Structure 1
Amino acid sequence: MVVPVIDFSKLDGAERAETMAQIANGCEEWGFFQLVNHGIPLELLERVKKVSSECYRLREAGFKASEPVRTLEALVEAERRGEAVTPVDDMDWEDIFYIHDGCQWPSNPPEFKETMREYRAELKKLAERVMEAMDENLGLAKGSIKGAFSGDGRHEPFFGTKVSHYPPCPRPDLITGLRAHTDAGGVILLFQDDQVGGLEVLKDGRWTDVQPLAGAIVVNTGDQIEVLSGGRYRSAWHRVLPMRDGNRRSIASFYNPANEATISPAVAAVGGGAYPKYVFGDYMDVYAKQKFQAKEPRFEAVKAPKSSPAA
């Protein structure tokens, strides 16, 4: 099985209907698809790769002193002494930091801020175009998903970016790169490494590679898109495997509802299943504690919102 690859430039041409069908298939059958010819300049993507790699080089010493590294070293040492060891299942072999409009960004390398501001602006526009395609495929009015995320324009949707590196791991049998999970939010756009793999999506009970593809943007749907679509679009389980060789770069941008926005199904639930109506901030409170657990109990936990809907 291969994660769908979609030529996004055909969305506005003679092959629009076929492209829309491909997007629908990616959302319904996979929860993941890759976009090529998406309109983001390849020159900008190359700059993003450069500044992200330089940023990690400045952080590398910190990762080598981090808890996952120390934990793995202790396991290997215990193994050398002949002791039985158990793989770690509660931490990830990754170096991460977040950037969004309300936080402090790295100032080194000097080009980082300017490059990432330009990149995030392009990604946000692309996310909104993808959401409009989802609107149409779901039979919703244009802008419906964005409207839900913004409380019909009363709040600003959250747009954040997670910059990750997965350094070479000497014992990938003893630790995870990133534990299996579904994403809490809306639409996720990932600029992944085009040389070092490791990202997998769960499809029909099998873990399938999200194959590295130069210049592509990987799109996946989060829990909020599952709710809005009444289960027609499913948020997919995915994970990152640690690799012995290579240093995997992963830049994921999340177009999420505002914390104050109220989320509920915008179309009839598939198969008669029901999703609750809730405030997104309440959902995130639950997700923070249950990220690596099944999503269904999270939906159950917010059926009685803790705060008053404000969207």
Structure 2
Amino acid sequence: MAIPVIDFSKLNGEERANTLAQIANGCEEWGFFQLVNHGIPEELLERVKKVCSECFTQEREDNFKNSTAVKLLNDVVEKKSGQKLENLDWEDVFTLMDNTEWPTKTPGFKETMTEYRSELKKLAIKVMDVMDENLGLPKGYIKKAFNGGEEEEESAFFGTKVSHYPACPHPELVNGLRAHTDAGGVILLFQDDMVGGLQVLKDGEWIDVEPLPNSIVINTGDQIEVLSNGRYKSVWHRVLATPDGNRRSVASFYNPSLKATIAPAPELVEMANQELHQITYPKFVFGDYMSVYAEQKFLPKEPRFQSVRAM
């Protein structure tokens, strides 16, 4: 079993209907799929790899060596307890947003990542337009919902998380990143070409998301599940710690504005009523959901939905 790999360029040709169906299947059956021929220039992707790797080695690696994760793992090994560090991630991570401080010591980092984020945001909107079409919603429905109901206003959140998972001497004792579903909307991941470790839970089995050079992995977050009234599910995924290599991961998130009200699309609620499906998703303000998520990220999502229902 492997997550679907989809040629995004075929949306513009004779195979459009088949490509739409492949994306619908990826959203409905997997919650994950890989896009190739997605329109992001390979030259830009090569620069992203270069500046992110250089940023880690020049600006981040020494701090990681002195991090809590390294110290706690060393303690466990010294004590020979064999106890796994369940509440810890073997990850170095920072987030890029338009209004935050970016790394400054890596040549070309800001210019490259600014260009990359601009391209990824455009790709995110194209992917959401395809989801609208597949769900039978008006074009721009998801984007408008994420922007707080405004057609033109750009209040949706777009962040980019740059992670490295250094080689771990005892990968059996720690997670790279604990299993979770993503809180937000559409996630676009540019993962390492060589070092694997990302896994998706499918039918009770953990499936590897195999590295595919210069592909973009798409997954759907909790807010897409709500807007689609459960047609598209956010799914559990995790990153394994590995004994060799240094996994690079650049994940961009197109999420609702914190003030946006999120609810199942009325058209999909009506369809579910006609088909006698039970409606289970509440209406809530995304900022309230994020407050709950901050406390419950690594727990099942259903209680989070119940918590915001009661707010």
Q: Same fold (TM over 0.5)?
A: yes
TM-score (norm 1): 0.95
Partners in 1 of 2:211 and 2:201 — Cα distance? 17
Report the equivalent of 1:239.
Answer: 238
TM-score (norm 2): 0.95
3-state secondary structure, aligned to 1:254: strand
Report the equivalent of 2:111.
Answer: 114
Aligned positions of 1:166-181 closer than 5 A: 166-181=165-180
Q: Which segments of 5 or more consecutive residues in structure 2 lack a partner in the other structure? A: none
Report the equivalent of 1:186.
Answer: 185
Report the equivalent of 2:55.
Answer: 55
Number of matched residues?
301
Cα drift, residue 155 of structure 1: 5.6
Give the % identical residues: 67
| Deviations 1:246-286 (CA, angstroms, capped at 9, x unpaired) | 00000000000000000000122583132000000000000
Report the equivalent of 2:128.
Answer: 131
Report the equivalent of 1:309.
Answer: none
Q: Give the AA of the match of 1:157.
A: A
Q: Give the AA of the match of 1:109.
A: T
3-state secondary structure, aligned to 1:33: strand
- Which contiguous aligned blocks of 4+ residues in structure 1 show a shift greater than 3 angstroms? none
3-state secondary structure, aligned to 2:142: helix
1:44 aligns with 2:50: no
| Deviations 1:201-254 (CA, angstroms, capped at 9, x unpaired) | 000110000110001000000000000000000001000000001000000000
Report the equivalent of 1:17.
Answer: 17
Report the equivalent of 2:297.
Answer: 291
Partners in 1 of 2:242 and 2:131 — Cα distance? 34
Cα drift, residue 89 of structure 1: 0.3
Q: Structure 1 pair 155/51, CA: closer, same or farther in 2 (3 Å)? A: closer
Report the equivalent of 2:70.
Answer: 69
Contact preservation (8 Å) 1:189, 1:254 = yes
Partners in 1 of 2:106 and 2:227 — Cα distance? 40
Cα drift, residue 195 of structure 1: 0.2
Q: Give the AA of the match of 2:71.
A: R
Corresponding residue to 1:102 among 99, 102, 115: 99
| Deviations 1:9-35 (CA, angstroms, capped at 9, x unpaired) | 001111000000000000000000000
Q: Give the AA of the match of 1:116.
A: M
Partners in 2 of 1:194 and 1:18 — Cα distance? 27
Partners in 2 of 1:46 and 1:288 — Cα distance? 33
Aligned positions of 1:270-281 closer than 5 A: 271-281=277-287
Partners in 2 of 1:14 and 1:107 — Cα distance? 46
Could you say what the CA RMSD is over the residues aligned between the two structures, in angstroms? 1.0
Q: Give the AA of the match of 1:292.
A: F
Partners in 2 of 1:220 and 1:297 — Cα distance? 21
Q: Which segments of 5 or more consecutive residues in structure 1 lack a partner in the other structure? A: 306-311
Contact preservation (8 Å) 1:198, 1:243 = yes
Cα drift, residue 110 of structure 1: 2.3
Partners in 2 of 1:298 and 1:198 — Cα distance? 27
Cα drift, residue 160 of structure 1: 0.2
Report the equivalent of 1:140.
Answer: 137
